[in-house]
Structure 1
Amino acid sequence: MDTSNHIRLRRLHLGPRQQQPPLHHLPLRPPPYGIDFPGRVPSGRFSDGKLATDFLVSQLGIKELLPAYLDPALTDRDLLTGASFASAGTGLDDLTASEANVLTLNAQLRNFMQALQRMRSIAGQQEADRVVENALFMVAAGTNDMLYNFYGLPLRRTYSLSGYQDLLLQNLENVIRTLHSTGARRVAVVGLPPIGCMPVSVTLGSLVPSFHMLQRVCVDQQNSDSEAYNAKLKALTSRLQATLPGSRVVYVDVYTPIMDMVISPAAFGLEKTTEGCCGLGSVEMGPLCNALAPKCPDPSKYLFWDAAHPTQSTYLFLANKFRQELLPSLLV
C-alpha cells in the first residue's frame, strides 16, 4: 500500500533541508524494483510494478497512480482525489514501526489530519468533508507484526497468540473509529495473507526441524494463525459497521485467493508460488533485492516479487477481485 512514503520519511530523518541531497538522489528501492513500472524505473513500491491501489484508482478513472502523501510533488488535485498514507514496514503494533524506523499507524493518522486541514484550505470545509465522506479508505496491516514481532525476533512472545491478535485488533479498531470521527464512512480492511506461504516464511520453516526440514513448503501453523486472526477481523468489521452510524466497513479476504494460487498455480498462469522472482527467491527483499541479484525472466509467472511482497500481476488480480466483489457494496 505504501507508494513511497518510506523513502520520503528517510528524507525527513536526514536533518536540515540544506544538508539533504536532492530528492531524486535518494534511492527509491534499487533496481530491479520497478522494472515493470511505467518508465521501468524504481518508484518506491516494494514490487516490480504497480500496487493494488494503483490499479484501483486507474480502473475507476480517477488517475493512473496513487501518489504518496509525503511526496513533495503532491498537488492539490492529487490530494483531493486520493493519496497513500501507508508506511512500508509498519504494523498495528507501534513496536513494529519503531523497530523498522517507519511511521506508526497513529503517525499516519496525524498525517491524514494534516491533509484534511490542507483539503479544507483548498476546497473549503464543506467540499473537503464531502470528499472524505465519499472516499474509500483502505487499511492493510498486521502481517509485519506477526512475521517479525511474533514469529521472528520474537519481541511479543510475552503474549499468547490469541492475546497478541487481540492487541492488534484493538489497535485497528481505534484507527477505524478515529477515521469515522473525521468523517470517513467507507472503510475496507484487508485481512492477513497465508503468512506461512510467504517465501521468507517458507525458507525459515525449512530450517526448523519441527516444521519441514529442508523442504520448501508452507508453514501450516502460521497459516492457521492467519485464519484465526481473519475470523476475528471479520467479526470486528461486522460489529463496527453495525455500531458506527452511516458506515460501511468491509473485510477484504486476500487469504483465500492467494492460497488458491499456491495450491493451483497453473489455473492462474503461475509457475512459482513459494519463491520470489528476485534473487534466489528465498530471503531477498529490500536491500538484498538489488541490481546484483539474479532475477527471474518473467515476474508475471511468480506470485511473489521478493521474499515478502507480491508481483504486479498478483496485485492486479487482487484489485480486480476487490473491484468486482466488494467495491459495489461500498459505493452504494
Structure 2
Amino acid sequence: MDTSKCLLLFFLTTLLLLPTSTTASPNITAIFAFGDSILDPGNNNRLSTIFRSDHPPYGIDFPGRIPSGRFSDGKLATDFLVSQLGIKELLPAYLDPALTDRDLLTGASFASAGTGLDDLTASEANVLTLNAQLRNFMQALQRMRSIEGQQEVDRVVENALFMVAAGTNDMLYNFYGLPLRRTYSLSGYQDLLLQNLENVIRILHSTGARRVAVVGLPPIGCMPVSVTLGSLMPSFHMLQRVCVDQQNSDSQVYNAKLKALTSRLQATLPGSRVVYVDVYTPIMDMVISPAAFGLEKTIEGCCGLGSVEMGPLCNALAPKCPDPSKYLFWDAAHPTQSTYLFLANKFRQEFLPSLLV
C-alpha cells in the first residue's frame, strides 16, 4: 500500500474513533455585570453617596494595594472570572473615566453598591437604579458600535456573559431595617422584586443578551451586620452572636421563587440560557464548617470589630484582622477576596457549563 493510501486510511480511522459529541468551549467574549456591591468595582466612586469604598483599608490585597472602590480587601468574583476565562485581568467600572470604547468590547460592570431591585432602595442610598444601569449599558452599546459596527457588537453581546446580582439591600434595609416596605407582606415584597428582576432580564434579552446568570440571595441572617442587629433584639438569642434564622429562611423562600423564574424565562426567551446561581449554599457551608474552608471567623468581619463596620465606618482608623483570608467577610456585609475566589471557582465549575450549552 502506497504512502497516500496509508495516510487516507489513518485519517478515516481517526475520524471513526473521535467521540460523537464534544463539550462546549467557554467562548465568552465579555462579561457585563449589573446589580449591587458584590459586582461594583468602583462605579460609586463617581457618585455622592456614603456607599463607597474608595478609601483604606479597602483594597489592601488588591494589586498595588489600591482602594479601587471594590467592597473587599481585594478582587471581586467577576475579576477572577474574567481572568480565569482569559478575557482580561480585571472587570472595570463603566464610570471609570479611564475606560475606553475598546475596553467595553471585553466587558464592564455597571453595578452600583447599595442598589436593589426596588428603585426605592437605590434612591434612599443615592446610587444607580437597575434602570439607570441599563441606560448606561445602552450608551455602552453605542460606544462599541462607533468603533466596531453593528455586526461585531451583536456578536460580542450574543456571546457575552451577563451577570445580575441584587435583592440583598432591598431585604436588609427596606424590609428588615427601616422598614420602608412593610406595607407589603414578605411574599408580596419578594414578588415585587422578582417582577422588577424579570423586567431587567427581558430588557437585556432585547439587546441581544443570551447568557444570563442571576445570583440568588445569600444567607442574609449570617451577614455580620444582621448578626449584630439580631443580637440586640429581644429573643432567646439576645446578646448572642448567632445567625438570624428567620432571615435565612426568607432568603431560601426568595431563592426558590427566583429559581422558578429563571427556568420560566429560559423557556420563553428565544435562544436564551438564564441560570440561577446559588450562593446561599456555599456560604452556609462556610458558616457551618469553617475549618473545611480554612476559615476561622465566619460571622464577624475583618474590618473594625467586625460587627457593623462597612463603607465610611470601615476606614483607616479602624483596626483590622491580620489575615483576611481566614475570614468569610471583609466588612460587616461583604466577602473577602478569598471568599470571592472560592465563589468564582464554584460558579465556573457548577454554573458556567449550563450557560454554554
TM-score of the superposed pair, with normalisation by structure 1: 0.90
Deviation at 1:2, TM superposition (A): 65
Q: Would you say the 8 A contact 1:193–1:254 is kept in 2?
A: yes
Q: What is the CA-CA distance between 1:178 and the residue it aligns to?
A: 0.4
1:118 to 129, 143, 146: 143
Measured in 2, the distance between the counterparts of 1:48 and 1:231 equals 31
Q: Which residue of 1 aligns with 2:85?
A: 60
| Counterpart Cα distance in 1 of 2:251 and 2:2 | 22
The alignment partner of 2:109 has SS state of: coil
The CA distance in 1 between the partners of 2:4 and 2:234, in whole Å, is 38
Task: Give ranges in structure 2 of 5+ residues lacking alignment.
Answer: 6-55
8 Å contact 1:303–1:311 — kept in the other structure?
A: yes
> What is the SS of the residue equivalent to 2:156?
helix
Label 1:40 to 1:3 Cα distance change in 2 as closer, same or farther (>3 A). Answer: farther
Q: State the identity %.
A: 97
Q: Distance in 1 between matches of 2:245 and 2:4?
A: 32
Shift of the alpha carbon at 1:121? 1.0
Q: CA RMSD in A?
A: 7.9
Equivalent residue in structure 1 for 2:330, among 285, 302, 305: 305
1:23-69 Cα distance to aligned partner (Å, 9 max, x none): xxxxxxxx110000000110110000000000000001111100001
Distance in structure 2 (CA, Å) of the matches to 1:210 and 1:178: 44
Contact 1:207/1:214 (8 A) holds in 2? yes
Measure how far apart 1:4 and its partner are. 62
The match for 2:109 is: 84
- Asked whether the equivalents of residues 4 and 68 of structure 1 are also in contact (C-alpha less than 8 Å), the reply is no
Cα separation, partners in 2 of 1:302 and 1:220, compared to 1, 3 Å: same
Question: Is the Cα–Cα contact under 8 Å of residues 192 and 254 in structure 1 kept in the other structure?
Answer: yes
- The Cα offsets for residues 242-293 of structure 1, whole Å up to 9 and x where unpaired, read as 0000000000000000000000000000000000000000000000000000
Q: Is the 8 A contact 1:199 1:307 kept in 2?
A: yes
Gap change, CA 1:248 and 1:234, over 3 Å in 2: same
Does the 8 Å CA contact 2:159/2:210 hold for their aligned counterparts?
A: yes
Residues 1:323 and 2:345 aligned together = no
Cα 1:86–1:175 change in 2 (3 A) is same
SS class of match (1:228): helix
Cα deviation for residue 326 of structure 1 reads 1.1
Between Structure 1 and Structure 2, how many residues are aligned? 307
Q: What's the counterpart of residue 239 of structure 1?
A: 264
Q: Are the counterparts in 2 of residues 169 and 233 from structure 1 also a CA contact under 8 Å?
A: yes
* Contact 1:205–1:211 (Cα < 8 Å) also in 2: no
Following superposition, the deviation at residue 210 of structure 1 comes to: 2.5
| Cα offset, 1:294, TM superposition | 0.3
Quick one: structure 1 residues 211 and 193, their matched pair in 2 at CA, closer, same or farther if it must change by over 3 Å?
A: farther
Q: Is the 8 A contact 2:102 2:144 kept in 1?
A: no
Partner residue in 2 for 1:171: 196
Q: Aligned equivalents of 2:179 and 2:215: distance in 1?
A: 24
Q: Residues 72 and 336 of structure 2 are in contact (CA less than 8 Å); yes or no, is this contact kept in structure 1?
A: yes
Whole-Å Cα distance in 1 between the matches of residues 236 and 316 of structure 2? 33
In the TM superposition, what whole-angstrom CA distance separates every residue of 1:187-236 from its partner, at most 9, and x where no partner exists? 00000000000000000000001362000000000000000000000000
Q: Is the CA contact 2:110–2:133 (under 8 Å) kept in the aligned structure 1?
A: yes
Q: Report the CA distance shift for 1:3/1:223 in structure 2 as closer, same or farther (over 3 A).
A: farther
Secondary structure of 2:319's counterpart equals coil
Is 1:139 equivalent to 2:136 in the alignment? no
Q: Determine the C-alpha separation between the residues in 1 that align with 2:85 and 2:149.
A: 25
| Superposition misfits of 4+ residues, deviation over 4 angstroms | 1-5
In the alignment, the residues of structure 2 paired with residue 210 and residue 189 of structure 1 have an alpha-carbon distance, to the nearest angstrom, of: 34
CA contact (8 A) 1:276 1:282 kept: yes
1:152 aligned counterpart, secondary structure: coil
Structure with higher Rg: it is 2
Which shows bigger deviation, 171-180 or 114-123? 114-123
Deviation of 1:330 (Å): 1.1
Q: Which runs of 5+ in 1 are unaligned?
A: 6-30
In structure 1, how many angstroms separate the alpha carbons of the residues matched to 2:91 and 2:253? 31
Aligned-pair CA distance for 1:76: 2.3
Contact 2:113–2:127 (8 Å) recurs in 1: yes
The answer (yes or no) to whether the contact 1:2–1:45 under 8 Å persists in 2 is no
Distance 2:4 2:172 in 1: 22
User: SS at 2:63's partner residue?
Assistant: coil
2:272 pairs with 1:251 = no
Distance 2:2 2:232 in 1: 31
Shift of 1:331: 2.0
Indicate the SS of the match to 1:83: strand
1:71 and 1:59 mapped to 2: Cα distance?
Answer: 23
**Residues 111-136 of structure 1: CA distance to partner in whole angstroms, max 9, x if unpaired?**
00010111111100000011011100
How far apart are residue 101 of structure 1 and its match?
0.1
CA offset digits 1:9-36 (Å, max 9, x no partner): xxxxxxxxxxxxxxxxxxxxxx110000
- Whether the aligned pair in 2 keeps the contact of 1:3 and 1:44 (CA below 8 Å) is no
Deviation at 1:177, TM superposition (A): 0.3
| Residues 35/122 of structure 1: CA separation in 2 closer, same or farther (3 Å cut) | same
**Among candidates 124, 128, 142, match of residue 103 of structure 1:** 128
Higher mean displacement: 67-76 or 168-177? 67-76
Counterpart residue number, 2:185 = 160
